């Protein structure tokens, strides 16, 4: 078959158009990962919360709901979620409700029917509920997996037996919280309780939990230690402190190292943190987030600085002791308050630190919420410089902050206005720009936590 010159030109034009359309279509349909958000809205008649799921478009950051989601979280008031290494199993910590049906859990008014619900993650990000497990303590509210994905750790606000507190923490510990540790079966995802090999109860058998100081706020695993951030009441102290356990990745055991809490000091004037909100590990640095006005003198300066809240960086020393970083405290941006989480983005030409600030805790109100951004250096010494502009918008009351698997976008899930906010990262200056397609997405209920999954098969 022969073509005229006109026919050849027409054929080439058609082929070119087809290639362009194909490339465009392929680019727009590529999913780089999944975003999951837990929420408190009732999904079933039994009062369970929900899990929402979205596909992340690699070209635009646009979110598309996963078919079949949202689904029930398996219990009321989901607080945290964990996806283990390999993305096969997803666990939700459901805190339950108090005797009056509310979501506020306290020592005096504890929540009931708390559980950990396991889900199997299948193709296209779809989840299928599996089994339900229970912690050993009261009022569980934080959960994490170790880096191997072999163990799951849950922080309970209140120990099941205060008489055992002094066995691990000393004679002054009349009350305490605890950490429940589970081993994860890599085939089924089933959880098996890890018994405390160091501390035994009155019966002579090992405790089924690991006591931590009273009033725990958050915990983190870093440099071979599980560190619990606690607000210690008198006589133990008036400031917030960090208590380290030596962690065994082979057995899941927590062993006493430095068995006394270390106070968190802000700046060079020995002022202690008293309103800490979180402890986070990122790029080899431990950050304690503190929500209180404080005046301090930065390293290398003679002029005091007043900040509405701050981020305090540390490295881990001997026996898990926290060592202050050169450069001192990082002041939070002046227009935001209540820092609750942070991430370090290092897939760009520079390292950028972003801090999610919850702001005023008022439903539907976005006052003082937002993301504070910094350029950071990690060698030879730590330094942080605010970006220009220093803050970026989020929804009202962000609960979490995540980076997509490609390092192009970040998202917050927001409690007060039931939304997800997405932004793209400028690789040159760290500025967070609105997404090109849609910047905000409406959830069916108030968000409590979020995480991303890079597995897309």
pLDDT tens-place string over residues 49-97: 999 999 999 999 999 999 999 999 999 999 999 999 888 999 999 999 9
| Whether pLDDT at 8 is above 60 | no
The closest of 134, 37, 119 to 80, measured between CA atoms, is 37
pLDDT tens-place string over residues 339-355: 999 999 977 667 999 99
| Whether pLDDT at 360 is above 60 | yes
What is the length of the chain?
457
pLDDT tens-place string over residues 269-290: 567 788 899 999 998 899 999 9
Report the pLDDT averaged over residues 295-304: 73
| Between 13 and 110, the higher pLDDT residue | 110
Q: Which pLDDT score, from 0 to 100, does residue 24 have?
A: 42
Q: Which pLDDT score, from 0 to 100, does residue 300 have?
A: 66
Q: Which pLDDT score, from 0 to 100, does residue 272 have?
A: 77
Residue 90, both tokens? 């997803």
HSE of 69, CA atoms in CB hemisphere, 13 A: 25
> Worst-scoring range by mean pLDDT, 64-73, 161-170, 207-216, 400-409?
161-170
Residue 43, both tokens? 């999904």
The closest of 201, 195, 112, 196 to 162, measured between CA atoms, is 201
Report CA-CA distances (Å) from 425 to 253, 269, 388: 39, 36, 13
Report CA-CA distances (Å) from 31 to 35, 54, 255, 457: 11, 10, 42, 10
Q: Which pLDDT score, from 0 to 100, does residue 356 have?
A: 98
Q: Does residue 202 contact residue 166 with C-beta atoms inside 8 Å?
A: no
| Whether pLDDT at 187 is above 60 | yes
**Alpha carbon distance 55, 384 (integer Å):** 33
| Whether pLDDT at 19 is above 50 | no
Long-range contacts of 46-50 (CB under 8 A, 24+ apart): 47/76, 47/97, 48/72, 48/73, 48/74, 48/75, 48/76, 48/94, 49/73, 49/75, 49/76, 49/77, 49/78, 49/92, 49/94, 49/445, 49/448, 50/78, 50/444, 50/445
Residue 23, both tokens? 């490339």
> Worst-scoring range by mean pLDDT, 17-21, 45-49, 196-200, 437-441?
17-21
For residue 264, what are the contacts with CB-CB under 8 A and spacing of at least 6? 229, 239, 240, 241, 242, 272, 273, 276, 288, 290, 312, 322
Q: Which pLDDT score, from 0 to 100, does residue 26 have?
A: 44
Q: Does residue 32 contact residue 456 with C-beta atoms inside 8 Å?
A: yes
The closest of 195, 293, 206, 292 to 251, measured between CA atoms, is 195
Find out if CATH 2.130.10.10 is the number for domain 264-445.
yes
Report CA-CA distances (Å) from 419 to 147, 259, 400: 30, 42, 12
Q: Which pLDDT score, from 0 to 100, does residue 234 have?
A: 47
Phi-psi domain of 150 (left: phi exceeds 0; alpha: psi -120 through 50; beta: other): alpha
| Lookup result for tokens 């950050």 | 287
Give me the residue spans of the domains in the chain.
Answer: 264-445
Count of beta carbons in the 10 Å neighbourhood of residue 170: 12
């Amino acid at each position: 078959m022969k073509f005229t010159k006109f026919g050849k030109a027409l054929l080439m034009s058609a082929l070119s158009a087809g290639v362009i359309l194909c490339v465009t279509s392929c680019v727009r349909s590529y999913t780089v990962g999944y975003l999951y958000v837990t929420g408190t809205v009732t999904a079933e008649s039994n009062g369970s919360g929900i899990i929402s799921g979205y596909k992340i478009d690699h070209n635009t950051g646009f979110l598309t709901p996963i078919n079949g989601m949202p689904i029930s979280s398996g219990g009321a008031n989901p607080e945290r979620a964990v996806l283990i290494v390999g993305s096969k199993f997803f666990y939700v910590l459901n805190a339950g409700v108090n005797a009056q049906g509310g979501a506020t859990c306290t020592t005096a008014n504890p929540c009931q029917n708390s559980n950990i619900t396991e889900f199997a993650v299948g193709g296209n990000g779809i989840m299928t509920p599996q089994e339900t497990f229970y912690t050993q303590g009261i009022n569980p509210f934080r959960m994490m997996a170790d880096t191997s994905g072999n163990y799951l750790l849950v922080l309970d606000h209140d120990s099941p037996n205060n008489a055992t507190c002094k066995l691990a923490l000393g004679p002054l510990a009349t009350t305490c919280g605890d950490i429940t540790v589970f081993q994860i079966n890599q085939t089924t995802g089933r959880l098996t309780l890890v018994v405390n090999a160091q501390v035994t109860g009155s019966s002579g058998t090992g405790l089924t939990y690991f006591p931590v100081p009273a009033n725990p706020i958050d915990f983190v695993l870093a440099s071979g230690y599980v560190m619990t951030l606690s607000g210690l009441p008198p006589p133990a102290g008036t400031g917030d402190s960090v208590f380290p356990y030596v962690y065994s990745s082979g057995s899941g055991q927590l062993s006493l190292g430095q068995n006394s809490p270390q106070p968190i000091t802000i700046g060079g004037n020995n002022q202690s943190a008293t309103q800490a909100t979180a402890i986070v590990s990122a790029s080899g640095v431990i950050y304690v987030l503190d929500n209180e006005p404080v005046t301090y003198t930065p390293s290398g300066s003679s002029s005091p600085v007043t900040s509405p809240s701050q981020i305090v960086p540390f490295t881990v020393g001997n026996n898990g002791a926290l060592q202050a970083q050169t450069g001192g405290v990082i002041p939070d941006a002046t227009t935001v308050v209540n820092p609750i989480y942070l991430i370090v983005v290092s897939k760009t030409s520079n390292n950028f630190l972003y801090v999610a600030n919850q702001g005023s805790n008022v439903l539907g109100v976005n006052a003082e919420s937002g993301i504070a951004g910094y350029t950071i250096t990690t060698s030879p010494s730590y330094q942080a410089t605010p970006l220009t502009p220093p803050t970026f918008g989020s929804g009202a009351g962000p609960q979490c902050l995540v980076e997509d698997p490609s390092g192009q976008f970040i998202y917050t899930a927001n409690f007060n206005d039931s939304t997800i906010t997405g932004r793209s990262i400028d690789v040159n200056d760290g500025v967070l720009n609105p997404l090109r397609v849609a910047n905000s997405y409406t959830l069916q209920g108030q968000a409590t936590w979020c995480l991303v999954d890079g597995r897309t098969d």
